[in-house]
Amino acid sequence: MAKVNISEAARMAGKSRSHLYEKYINTGVITVDSDREGRKVIDTSELIRVFGSLHIDDNAKDVREINKGHIENNHNDMIVSALQSENEVLREYLRAKEQEVTWLREQISKTTALLTHQRGDLRPKQGKRWWWPW
């Protein structure tokens, strides 16, 4: 689910930040993660697990919007994963076709060499041509 900072989590839980730290975070009841910038964040599913329902005031972000963004991210991740799989399949197909082209070129080369050798035996001798008047 969505991750919120400690202040937002305290507001959603209806507790103060210090109470949240003392009773829940420091004792390990709530798991705290870090975002990309190293700031502490709490997953909203953790808050729901510990406190049940969450309090949302008008100034807080709407949970539906957070969930919508989370669902869109999951959807995008699924699309990226599917495209990566399709890309790998197409690469394998391309490798197979390149091997086929290499084999066909070898066959053409062998056939050309064989025909060149056979033509040398079938060519008429270079003498006076019967249709040439002089």
pLDDT in tens, 16-52: 889 888 888 899 888 898 888 888 898 888 888 888 7
Measured N-to-C along each axis, helices 6-13 and 44-51 cross at an angle, to the nearest 10 degrees, of: 30
Tell me, what's the pLDDT at 76?
80
Q: What are the distances in angstroms from CA 71 to CA 1, 27, 38, 43, 108?
A: 9, 31, 24, 15, 55
Q: Measured between alpha carbons, how far is 46 from 24 in angstroms, rounded to an integer?
A: 11
| pLDDT, tens digit, 9 for 90 and up, residues 48-78 | 888 877 776 554 455 555 555 666 777 788 8
As a whole number of angstroms, the distance between CA 46 and CA 31 comes to: 7
Residues with Cβ within 8 Å of 72's Cβ and at least 6 positions away in sequence, in order, are none
Give the residue among 73, 72, 54 at the shortest CA–CA distance from 4: 54
